[in-house]
Structure formats: structure tokens, C-alpha cells
Amino acid sequence: MSDKINIRHLGLEELKASLIESGEKAFRAKQIYEWLWQKNANSFDEMTNLSKSLRELLENNYWIDIIDLKDQQISSDKTIKCAFLTYDAKVIEGVLIPTSSRTTACISSQVGCSLACKFCATGKLKLMRNLTAGEMVDQVVYLKNQAEERYNTHLSNIVYMGMGEPLLNYKEMLRSTNLITSSEGLGMSPKRITVSTAGIAKMIKKLGDDEVRFNLALSLHAANDEKRSHLMDINDSNNLEALAEALRYFHQKTGTRVTFEYIIFKDFNDELEDAQELAEFAKCVPCKINIIEYNAIDDGEFQQATRAKVDAFANYLENKNIIVNVRRSRGKDIDAACGQLANKNNAIRKDERALK
């Protein structure tokens, strides 16, 4: 493969130029592009409207960085966790989350993660590499197909909240969102996509400069620097003041309301004083707040907050005229809930036949 070009790394114009150099007609590039991004072909043999000689040329000079399904588990609440195998034998995870109001694909942007947030199982893995745009799109396509085939519903939302930090894989993440929303790709609305970040101020500003049309979520989890730094090392170099400035800049450039994600931990960030700090920080930008139930991980130091504390916390914010959603966990029995993705594929399998 080392002497071949990953064809999905090429944009349409680059593909045209490459084909012309090989003596082919430029219009063939659009046909190939449609096979790659609209029809999601896994091989050149599938491209049946191309001549055999062109397919042979493609086979000899290019390759496709497809991912394959390695393992799949289905939760009692119908959440589906998929372990995917990349071309270089790395494992990543994606999750399909069906609810009564929406069906969401949660996808990964990196193999592992470098940020080591204390509450996250993925953070206990080392970062192995960034995913390509194609590998991110493949996750969406597979989960979209699962939604249609298993649950007879369309994929309504995509969240970059799986393994990895999307803004540390900025170029490929952005390209993947363009392919998902492009008429030459999946044709989904950018407003159906949310990219979640642990908080990298300069990259949040870059999102504003690039005038992205998708939604942005910030994993906040505490609204004072001491607590947030305990949870997330990245806060030492991207503190709340820097993040507030970056978010204001992002909103000024895009007009998009920001989502703050707040995992609520027992006896750590679940008091009304914490809610008061959060309400104050939330004034920096038009926003909504998702309060997320904590999901225990192996060797974790945190516990789930009580329902009474969560409700009191949410009520305080709502009384401050803040939009609040309390997110109850799904897929916990297969380690598919928020913060649990860590390639634990030897867990007890669910009987899929009962859900078909």
C-alpha cells in the first residue's frame, strides 16, 4: 500500500488532476467521487459504470481506507455500540443512540486520546493516531444503515463525542463534516451535527474564522478553574477566561448558540454553589446546558450524583432563564454511554435476535 495513494485523501479537483495525468478523462473523477462519498463503495470493483481498464488503473494506483465491523453489542435500551477495525488494525468505537425523538450517531475522531480527562475511559488510552475523514464518514454511514435496517428510522443527528478530541484532528474533522453535508456526499444538514471539544481556545476561534455551520459543544463540567483543572488537565493551558473569550469570538463569527456539557459528580460539582458558578459563566455567550449523568469507569474516583441533587441543580439554572436538558445515560450495560468508550469488546454480548 505504501506506493499507492489513499484515494479518499484527494479532493475532487485533486482527483481530476491525478486522472488526467494518467490519461483519463476529467469527468471520470466526479463518477468516482460519487462512488466514494454518495454510494460509499468499499472497492473499485463496485464502481460498475467505470470501464474495466479504469478500474484496473485505480486498483493499481490507489487504495481506500475503509473500516470494517469488528464487534457489535446491543443494549437493553436498543443502543448499539460498534467496534470498528481500521486498515492498520486499530480499533475505534461508534454508537447509535435511538430515542423517541431522535436517532443519533456518536462517532470517534481519533484512535485513543491524549487529554487524559479523569472521568473518561478513553482518556486512559494513549493517542495512537488521528482518523481520516473517510474513517469518520464510514462510522456515520454504518450507523445510519443500522438505524434504517434495525429500527426503520432515519439518522437525525451526528455528534463528534466518541473517542478523541476533534479539534486536535481539525483538518480531517472539518473535511468529514463537509463530506457529510455536501450534496456530493450524504447531504445532511450541518445543523444536525455537533462537534464536542474539551476546550482548545485557539481552535475554537479557528472554527469561527472558518465560519462553520455545525453546532459546537464545550465539555465544561466545572465553572471554576480549580475544579475544572482537577478534572481536565487541558484547563491549565486553556482556562475559563480564555475559553469564554474564544466562545464569544466563535458566536460573533457564526451566530451559533453554544452547548455546555456538564457531567455532574456526587459531592464534587453538584451543589447549588456550583450551579451559581455555571450560571455566571454561561452569561459569556448565548447557550444551552446539557446536564449529563455520570457513568462509572474502571478505577474512577467519581460517583453518580443523586437524582435529587441533579433536579435541584437543573431547577436552579432554569430559574435563571437558562435552557437546560438533563441527559439520562443510554447503553450503560454495554459500556456505550458517555465517557465509557475504551474498546472493552469482551463484555457480555446481548442476544441480537430478540431485537430484530
C-beta of residue 208 within 8 angstroms of C-beta of residue 254: yes
Place of cell 450560571: 279
| Known active-site residue 284 | no
Are residues 254 and 212 in contact, defined by beta-carbon separation less than 8 angstroms?
A: yes
Cβ atoms 38, 188 nearer than 8 A:
no
Q: What one-letter code names the amino acid at 61?
A: N
The helix/strand/coil state of 134 is: helix
Of the residues 113, 120, 287, 338, only one is catalytic, namely: 338
Query: Contact at 8 Å (CB) between 285 and 258?
Result: yes
Distance CA 48, CA 36 (A): 13
Find out whether 327 and 350 touch, Cβ atoms under 8 Å: no
Q: Which residues in 215-244 are b (16+ Cβ under 10 Å) and which e?
A: bbbbbbbbbbeebbbebbbbbeebebebbb
Residue 227 DSSP label:
H
Distance CA 74, CA 81 (A): 6
106 is catalytic: no
Cα–chain-centroid distance for residue 204? 16
Residue whose cell numbers read 458558578: 277
Q: Which of 93, 135, 165, 293 is catalytic?
A: 93
Residues taking part in catalysis: 93, 338
